[in-house]
Amino acid sequence: MFKTLGQLLLGSIFIVGGAGAFAEPGGRVQKVEAAGVPQPRQATILNGAVMVVAGSTLAAGVLPKLSALALLGSLTATTFVGHPFWKEETPAGRANHQVHFFKNLSTLGGLLMVLANKND
């Protein structure tokens, strides 16, 4: 029961965040472009789609390890491209991105726990 609930909750952040990136890439595109990623708009939309699909399958308990692996790649890139707090010039900007950076690291830890589960 706890594993199912955990996967549902863990998947939810990717469904919501991915849907936003897919439907309204907006300011994310500039960060992706600044990081030197080719075709930044398409990359942002693709990343959002990966998050929605893999987040949904993780939440549903369908291929949880494959879902977690896809999300590990997606979130690692998102974390370093989207929240480089060490580049922020203002204390408020640094603090904001630092919180999101470490929140994402914590979420990566949850995905690693899904991968480490021997029952799947």
pTM comes to 0.91
Distance CA 7, CA 67 (A): 10
Distance CA 64, CA 67 (A): 5
Task: Report yes or no: 70 and 43 within 8 Å, Cβ to Cβ.
Answer: no
> If the chain, 120 residues long, is cut into consecutive pieces of 10 residues, what is the mean pLDDT of each piece?
94 96 91 93 96 98 97 96 93 95 97 90
**Distance of CA 67 to CAs 30, 91, 108, 115, Å?**
27, 36, 12, 9
Say what the pLDDT of residue 1 is: 87
Q: What does residue 114 show for φ and ψ, rounded to 5 degrees?
A: -60, -45
- Tokens describing residue 75: 């979130």
Say what the pLDDT of residue 118 is: 84
